[in-house]
Amino acid sequence: MTGVLSISRNPLYLGSVIFISGMAFIINILWIVVTLLVSIVLCLYILIIPEEKYLAAKFGDDYEDYVATVHRWFGRSVG
């Protein structure tokens, strides 16, 4: 597997988190980081987990292999 989806199962969410974190530090507004942390938790339970359940039901073993290989946010499993 190649490309961005071989590094993160949620590259759009990861990119958004990195961008917003960077902007918060550049403009030095700490409350944005706190709000971002709350948003990440909400995103996880409202968007990501239901989407992963749907994908597991739709693609079965292929998706389970993908989940075992690529981390949710960043990185690959070794082995």
Q: Tens digit of pLDDT for each residue in 33-70?
A: 899 999 999 999 999 999 999 999 999 999 999 999 99
Q: Would you list the domain boundaries of the chain?
A: 4-69
User: Over the chain, what is the mean pLDDT?
Assistant: 92
Listed residue (3, 11, 5) closest to 69, CA to CA? 5
Amino acid identity at 67: V
Percent pLDDT > 70 in the chain is: 97
How long is the chain?
79
Is 90 exceeded by the pLDDT of residue 9?
yes
48/1: higher pLDDT: 48
